Amino acid sequence: MRIIRNVAFVALGIGIGTIITAQTRAQTAAPPPDFELVIYGAVGDTMVKCVKGCKLGPTQNTSASAARDSVGFACNKAGEACKLLATGWVQK
């Protein structure tokens, strides 16, 4: 009975280790952004659109797989400019 329990614990440990390793590799395999933009906008809506050959993300934490063709934001600060940091990837 002890042998079966020990084998089960070892198998469980190996399985958990394999899952953690796979997730870590998947997270680190994402390419870093090719560029960063700081976008300043006045009161109202501001949008930046990539027309050809790139994808944009609204924050530094956006992955390339979650990037899209455009990013935008609404500025509600009267008399002040708003800003957005956008990251981007060149499509090769």
CA 39 to chain centre: 18
Q: pLDDT tens digits, residue range 9-39?
A: 777 778 777 787 777 666 555 678 888 888 8
Q: pLDDT tens digits, residue range 68-90?
A: 888 888 888 777 778 888 888 88
Q: What 3-state class would DSSP assign to 22? A: helix
* pLDDT value for 28: 56
* pLDDT value for 25: 65
Q: pLDDT tens digits, residue range 54-65?
A: 888 876 666 667
Taking the C-alpha atoms of residue 64 and residue 34, their distance in angstroms, rounded to an integer, is: 10
Residue 50: pLDDT over 80 = yes
